[in-house]
Structure 1
């Protein structure tokens, strides 16, 4: 509640000024930096993730036994592939999708192809946790996720062009986000990779915050005609595995996002409308 005698606007201004924000290399379309702060609830969430998802301390025997680990891993990869594709419009039931993956049969339609692509890509990412991220690798990642699912067919694995107008709209047809112009994408992707690899900034950023910011960054730039959400979530996985948060091999973040899609969307919008404050997105995605 505001202090006595202060308006809501005055109280909010004082609160914002009291925040100790750290700038990120990510810039908006006007060159203004995104930033984040670390309120107690975010620090608590990061500590919980550190304690439960990193290293080998406390890992259940069932997970670190090779046979059971493979079982849980495959189940998790299936769940993430299915749910991530459903978030992007794949109209396939969970049962049909699981049978598709298990049987090895060819996909019958675009929705099934999206799911199979995502499953195979998530398995590929497991082998890349020690690999330096490059623009070429991001393009390869997008190509694997979207192969044979896009119109035009050559859109998989390439950046959108200047004649391809891409915007993000709400269910009512209103434009809620206009990504940076295509002419900036190659340079922005290079900066994204430098951030992902820990080359920038020179100050310490918690690995989970870095992974969340990487997810936001690619979604904000929207460098592809389609498949941006799936690619952003895949980069989040890569970043978490790169920093030894092994438990995330067994967690489907898309399942969590699907449970509260409105909160996920609001976190994006709050970040952009409140002076590029990524704290909203970090808090939402570290819970």
Structure 2
């Protein structure tokens, strides 16, 4: 999505986004990137009991409605000032309401939300997990959509619900970053305590092993990574094995070293 953030929204770009997000998932691959056509039976939104929750506009109206959506998204519709996040939410709603494709409309609408936020320089949006939260709150999402239809198109319900989702996503991101900062600090303290016993190459290897518990290290790979002789690389690895930080296993005609299963615990790291 990042590479498209500077592109103006067009029906062709929406079609391309739909092709990307539905690749390999559609019953009929020929419908990827193609809005429904006049004469085709429109795909409606139904609940688990088969009741129609939303009947989208006729296919004959889709070209004009897609152009209107793009004009609004690009700020070319002549409307008064619209807060950027509200514009992005309304773009999401418009695509979902028009339901132009046979399938994948929800995925396409969520990508358009990201596009709109990034296009308006809200770069942090790229790191927010909106889709995960929407899946957890599908009932709330559906109710907010229906309330808009039942109240003469008042989008307040949908906007309020989406703002709640975005707020939770920001909180989740902050919590994630706090955890990562704490883990990094703990790792730095643990490694610092070993600094008197290990060289900088061994410390770098342990930092990598903490991040990648499934990593495998060989004399050749360690030698290349740090531009040292094979003998020096072997000495480094054997020393870490001797301190109970790596486990040696046969590999081909030689050996590989793996992080011990409880490396974080051995280093005194939490989590």
TM-score range, shorter chain: 0.5 to 0.7
**How far is the alpha carbon of 1:260 from its aligned partner?**
1.6
Counterpart position of 1:194: 71
What is the number of equivalent residue pairs in this alignment? Answer: 163
For 2:17 and 2:10, locate their aligned partners in 1 and report how far apart those are by CA, in whole Å. Answer: 11
Q: After superposition, where does 1:221-260 map in structure 2 within 5 Å?
A: 221-260=98-137
Pick from 209, 219, 224 the counterpart of residue 86 of structure 2: 209
Counterpart position of 1:146: 22
Specify the SS of the correspondent of 2:53.
Answer: strand
**How far is the alpha carbon of 1:128 from its aligned partner?**
1.1
**How far is the alpha carbon of 1:130 from its aligned partner?**
1.1
**How far is the alpha carbon of 1:151 from its aligned partner?**
2.1
For 1:159 and 1:259, locate their aligned partners in 2 and report how far apart those are by CA, in whole Å. Answer: 28
Question: Which structure has the larger Rg?
Answer: 2
For 1:248 and 1:160, locate their aligned partners in 2 and report how far apart those are by CA, in whole Å. Answer: 30
Q: What TM-score do you get using the length of structure 1 for normalisation?
A: 0.55
Give the unaligned 5+ runs of structure 2.
Answer: 165-271
Measured against aligned partners, the alpha-carbon deviations of 1:256-285 in whole angstroms (never above 9, x if no partner) come to 112221111100000000111000000000
Specify the SS of the correspondent of 2:101.
Answer: coil
Counterpart position of 1:218: 95
After TM superposition, where is structure 1 displaced by more than 6 Å over at least 4 residues in a row? Answer: none
Give the unaligned 5+ runs of structure 1.
Answer: 1-124
Taking only aligned residues, the RMSD between alpha carbons, in angstroms, comes to 1.0
For 1:207 and 1:237, locate their aligned partners in 2 and report how far apart those are by CA, in whole Å. Answer: 11
Counterpart position of 2:32: 156
Alignment check: 8 A CA contact 2:42 2:56 kept:
no
Q: With a CA cutoff of 8 Å and minimum separation of 6, indicate the structure with the bigger relative contact order.
A: 1
Counterpart position of 2:183: none
Q: What TM-score do you get using the length of structure 2 for normalisation?
A: 0.59
For 1:137 and 1:217, locate their aligned partners in 2 and report how far apart those are by CA, in whole Å. Answer: 16
Pick from 107, 130, 142 the counterpart of residue 6 of structure 2: 130
Alignment check: 8 A CA contact 2:140 2:161 kept:
yes
Moved more, 221-230 or 257-266: 257-266
